[in-house]
Amino acid sequence: MGTKWKTRQSLLMRAKNQDDEAAWEEFVAYYRDFIVMILRKMNLYSVDLDDLTQEVLVRIWKSLPNHIYDQDRAKFRSWLSHVIRNQVLNHIRANQRRDTRHAVATRDESVGGLFTNEEPEIEKIIQQEWEVYVVKLALKNISALFSEGAIKAFTLSVEGKSSAQIAAHLGVKPNSVIKLKNRVKVRLAQEIQHLRNELESV
């Protein structure tokens, strides 16, 4: 399975081909919810998130073929933050032209702080939220491979519960808890790496 992950083209590489509709649909399935989450974090008011999300996706679709491959995966996230940032600004400016009441949006401190020239806040948000998003997605993907008790043992351990506390909660022995959570941990790490290869390698 590991060999398959290494030899096949990443999703991003396939999505660069605008004729590959299946790859683009898969890209949207992975990234749409993440983009919506980022836009919500930006505290945008008086905008339709569905419309703006679609605009961002269209911009990514048009721009991705020209994105230059780079081994540094952070470069793609920086590029993504640039695309989102610019599309949000374009959306706000378009609203201004259609309705002067939207002019206040560009003066809103919660939005303005995201567009500083030195280090855009949106890039920080994407870097932080992406790590959380990938872990949650990976855990969701592997959940069907384990018993409910194994997943619960792992999530409770992440929350800081001791093996003894988890054992009491699940009605099993502490040694069983250790085995259960370690099995999940190993598989989760593999899935996270798989998702990174798929979603961060261009």
The C-alpha atoms of residue 144 and residue 150 are separated, in whole angstroms, by 11
Tens digit of pLDDT for each residue in 42-83? 877 667 888 999 999 999 999 888 876 555 566 777 888 888
Which candidate, 110, 105, 180, places its Cα nearest to that of 150?
Answer: 180
At 98 the pLDDT is 67
The C-alpha atoms of residue 57 and residue 83 are separated, in whole angstroms, by 9
Q: What DSSP state is assigned to residue 74?
A: H
Tens digit of pLDDT for each residue in 162-183? 999 999 999 999 999 999 999 9
Q: How many domains does the chain have?
A: 1
- Stretch (H or E) spanning 28: helix 21-41
pLDDT band at 12 (very low <50, low <70, confident <90, very high): confident
At 158 the pLDDT is 94
At 46 the pLDDT is 64
Provide the domain limits for residue 65.
2-200
* pLDDT value at 33 more than 50: yes
Most confident of 9-18, 48-57, 87-96: 48-57
At 194 the pLDDT is 92
| CA neighbours closer than 13 Å in the CB half-sphere of residue 64 | 26
At 95 the pLDDT is 73
pTM over 0.95? The answer is no
Tens digit of pLDDT for each residue in 112-164? 555 554 446 777 888 888 899 999 999 999 999 999 999 999 999 999 999 99
